[in-house]
Structure 1
Amino acid sequence: MREESSLQPMIDDALAETPPGRRVWVALSGGLDSSLLLTLAARAVHRHPRSLYALHVDHGLQEASCEFVRHCHRLCDRLGVPLFIERVCVDMTTGRGLEAAAREARYDAFAARLDAGDTLWLAQHRRDQAETWLLAALRGSGVRGLAAMPAVREWAGLCLVRPLRDLPRARLERAAEALGLCWVEDPSNADEALDRNFLRRRVLPLLESRWPRVEASLGRSATLAGEADALLDELAGQDLRACGGEPGRLSLPALCALSAPRRRLLIRYACQCLGVPTPPAARLATLDEQLNARRDAQVQVAWPGGEARCWREALYLQCPVPGLPAGWQVEWDGRSALDTPQGRLKVRLDGGPCREEGGYRLRPRQGGETLRLAGRGRRDLKRLLQEAGLPPWRRQALLVVWDGEAVAAVLDPGRAGVLIAAEGYSAGRASPRD
């Protein structure tokens, strides 16, 4: 059987498993693997109609990137597949290295271009899986890292699928040659200063000389690690429910009743549920040590992109909310999404006389504010926040919406929404168009 004929049913089946009406994208680098995947996908849509698109991310890191773009245009023109080019800037100031920075820029481009619910096909194969497992092991990763690249996973509202993951590279080469495909070789693949290239060119060939089935063996290890990771997620989900069910607010007594490994697992799981970066091992150990501190102690542990605080028998996990510059205030029409130094708030506020007078005014909470509530009359904001059980650090970050000389609402950047609306005002989400 010809190689492309043996692969086509596999791609047909993968496409058929995509729900009708969902858009399918192929991440097209211009190399052999992604060029082959797009070609087979373009054939498959004739049997299983789906909206198919290609996305090329231009990192702009080498002169050859222009040739990658030209090749992608030629291939997509021939296949009749719409092509989108995303040009990114790779941030090399993070200290994590070129490969990690390029990967982050690439995934940011995926998230920016695709819509929630879309499916993105990635062309990694069995050797990529083996390399990823080795890199994770060398970093001392846990079970999730050793699971390497799952065949299917949800990420940022998208469904990531790797239809070629379990296939050897040699089989893909034979299929591409049988189809008469052209592709572009990335010159950077020869740079052994990059960790993945060093593994690919030096380490894996040496391992294969002793253990010929090393790729398949490492792939099986990754699959088993993925199963173990799924079971740990189930356990963490049970513990989350026992700790109150809110990933951003975990009951301290219930949390401390767990064993140390389960506490750490639950904290990592809760951070993932919230979209907060998980704490590095050292910071997680520090946090775990402080969970048994006196309940009146002001426990706060921070790490890049996240922080944990203890207050009133609960552990709070969140992204840090930056403070506001002195004297900051802004005018707002009440309809548009609102850009603030603390992030973008997609809220809407209707009501009050501001419609005739031009708009609302926002500024940080100063203290002493009052507002009128339906059925309760005028109330002091400080007392309302105490009644709501709002933690002190969130009270300090609130934004007060003024309609002339009256408080119309209070916004909570930590929850990206309206915390309190005064009598005569109604709150909701800003229009997606804004």
Structure 2
Amino acid sequence: MPTPLLEALEEHSAALRSATRVYVGFSGGIDSHCLLHALTTFSQNEPLPPVTAIHVNHGLHADADAWEMQCRKIAGELGVDIVIERVGVKSKPSLEAQARAARYQIFQKYLTENALLLLAHHLDDHVETVLFRLIRGAGSTGLSGIPKTRQVGAGSLLRPFLGVHRSEIEAYASELGLQSIHDSSNDDLALDRNFLRHQVLPMIEARWPGYRSGISRTAQIMGSIDDASTDAWYQCPFGCPSLDIDFREAETLHAAVHAKLKVMGLDLPAFDALRELSRQCLTAGRDKTPTLYTDAYALSCWRGRLQILPATIAPCEPEEVVVGRVISRAWGSLSWVAANTGLPEGSRVSLRPIDEGERVRFPGRPSRPIRHGMQEMGIAPYWRASVPTICVNAEVVAVAGLGCTEQGAHIFNENSEGLVPIWTPPKIRIGN
């Protein structure tokens, strides 16, 4: 049965298959050991490129050479090539940062174009990083945590286990009897990161068992703030902030919407609700309208365009008007323009909202539902109740924006010159 580790690799199977070569940063510890083992298991059913483990010996621990030999042994047992690189790191402050920089210099040396480096950071590492940076006063970039992917040299880095719990990795190692290297320095509580891991987080978990998902969600939001651009938004003819849906991934769309709402000063919807809307926007048919409502506004998508709308859109209210007189209401304004086939100026007509199911016939055209005309005009379903229908004795004689109907032309002495109604939506103000 697939384990969470193999499922995580399956999620990135396309990236693995397309790489020219796959490298694994291999310390010999339980995390990288399980990653290397799971990758070789995964490769039995997937046509992967050659896999090579990279072990960097920093020479900082008394057992560093023994660990190097152990890594050779593990790689040999798994049938994986391994390269060993030895680097010198001075014993000064920021020793950990120096060691990390030395490792990445080695990684860059091997990562040619389209090569892929896998590192075994997992969900607990991600959460610890966010909390540690929060304590130190990081901004949105720091609080986005550990990136899942990024460029390294001419190749790419991927952390496939970033959504996997440490306990799931430990269970994998225990079930398979994997003997991994244990670095005793990871138990030293004098080091801040170890104190956070061994003392603070167990107390948090005892009180809030689901804390990992919450902190991980915050990290994703922080990353969205940094990565998303609001440049692609524009005002549609109705005055709504609009965004064309040309994204390939729901996460990218989610980030773009999140960033725009923040710039507008609007309260953000629930994370999961906005993520689900983003998914629906990318998968729904063009004439579907996935919508997310909040108390202050709504997000709705139609025909590949996502819009930020008022929470409520006023429908046209029934009333009597005089043809030629401009009126302004909560649902918008009604004005008039001259046309070859129109209504006599000064005549009295009544307004009501559109009944999308009713059919009308315009001169020279077959009978069809009003909603088809709305679609041709590019009026989304959520605006249509605001568009006034013009009636005389309950007969539809004109539709704002569509013109005079055949029935209207007949009532007013056929094809006579006159006025036709034009609807303009109300001015919209949402947020700042």
Q: Is the 8 A contact 2:58 2:86 kept in 1?
A: yes
State the match for 2:169 in structure 1: 172
Could you tell me how far apart the structure 1 residues matched to 2:231 and 2:155 are? 24
The equivalent position to 1:157 in structure 2, one of 151, 154, 159, is: 154
Distance 1:42 1:19, change over 3 A: closer
Could you tell me how far apart the structure 2 residues matched to 1:63 and 1:9 are? 37
Could you tell me how far apart the structure 2 residues matched to 1:208 and 1:173 are? 18
Gaps of at least 5 residues in structure 2 are 233-262, 264-432
Larger Rg belongs to: 2
Number of equivalent positions: 232
Shift of 1:21: 4.8
Shift of 1:235: 6.0
Could you tell me how far apart the structure 1 residues matched to 2:57 and 2:216 are? 29
Shift of 1:18: 2.8
State the match for 2:119 in structure 1: 122
Could you tell me how far apart the structure 1 residues matched to 2:216 and 2:3 are? 24
Deviation track 1:217-249 (CA, whole Å, cap 9, x = no partner) reads 2111112212222115x769xxxxxxxxxxxxx
Could you tell me how far apart the structure 1 residues matched to 2:194 and 2:159 are? 21
Q: Is the 8 A contact 1:123 1:162 kept in 2?
A: yes
- Counterparts of residues 12-91 of structure 1 (less than 5 Å): 12-46=10-44, 47-91=46-90
Distance 1:115 1:17, change over 3 A: closer
Q: Is the 8 A contact 2:108 2:152 kept in 1?
A: no
Deviation track 1:323-380 (CA, whole Å, cap 9, x = no partner) reads xxxxxxxxxxxxxxxxxxxxxxxxxxxxxxxxxxxxxxxxxxxxxxxxxxxxxxxxxx
Letter in 2 for 1:17: A
Shift of 1:33: 0.9
In structure 1, the residue corresponding to 2:151 is in which secondary structure?
strand
Q: Is the 8 A contact 2:111 2:156 kept in 1?
A: no
Shift of 1:215: 2.1
Shift of 1:10: 2.9
Q: Is the 8 A contact 2:23 2:52 kept in 1?
A: yes
- Counterparts of residues 35-434 of structure 1 (less than 5 Å): 35-46=33-44, 47-93=46-92, 95=93, 97-231=94-228
Q: Is the 8 A contact 2:23 2:117 kept in 1?
A: yes
Shift of 1:19: 4.8
Gaps of at least 5 residues in structure 1 are 237-261, 263-434
Moved >6 Å (runs of 4+)? none
Could you tell me how far apart the structure 2 residues matched to 1:129 and 1:6 are? 17
Letter in 2 for 1:139: R
The equivalent position to 1:10 in structure 2, one of 8, 11, 22, is: 8
Deviation track 1:265-288 (CA, whole Å, cap 9, x = no partner) reads xxxxxxxxxxxxxxxxxxxxxxxx
Shift of 1:212: 1.9
Letter in 1 for 2:43: V
Could you tell me how far apart the structure 1 residues matched to 2:40 and 2:12 are? 13
Q: Is the 8 A contact 1:64 1:186 kept in 2?
A: no
Distance 1:230 1:142, change over 3 A: same
Letter in 2 for 1:22: T
Q: Is the 8 A contact 2:31 2:120 kept in 1?
A: yes
Give the TM-score, by structure 1 length: 0.50
In structure 1, the residue corresponding to 2:54 is in which secondary structure?
strand
Distance 1:147 1:6, change over 3 A: closer
Q: Is the 8 A contact 1:64 1:187 kept in 2?
A: no
Q: Is the 8 A contact 1:126 1:168 kept in 2?
A: yes
Could you tell me how far apart the structure 2 residues matched to 1:107 and 1:37 are? 19
In structure 2, the residue corresponding to 1:10 is in which secondary structure?
helix
Shift of 1:76: 0.7
Q: Is the 8 A contact 1:154 1:160 kept in 2?
A: yes
Could you tell me how far apart the structure 1 residues matched to 2:118 and 2:18 are? 16
Deviation track 1:159-194 (CA, whole Å, cap 9, x = no partner) reads 111111111111111111122211111111011222
Letter in 1 for 2:39: A
Q: Is the 8 A contact 2:113 2:155 kept in 1?
A: yes
Deviation track 1:388-408 (CA, whole Å, cap 9, x = no partner) reads xxxxxxxxxxxxxxxxxxxxx
Could you tell me how far apart the structure 1 residues matched to 2:164 and 2:3 are? 14
Could you tell me how far apart the structure 2 residues matched to 1:164 and 1:202 are? 24
Could you tell me how far apart the structure 2 residues matched to 1:19 and 1:48 are? 7
State the match for 1:364 in structure 2: none
| Percent of aligned pairs sharing the same letter | 37
Shift of 1:6: 4.5
Could you tell me how far apart the structure 2 residues matched to 1:109 and 1:193 are? 29
State the match for 2:242 in structure 1: none
In structure 1, the residue corresponding to 2:228 is in which secondary structure?
helix
Give the TM-score, by structure 2 length: 0.50
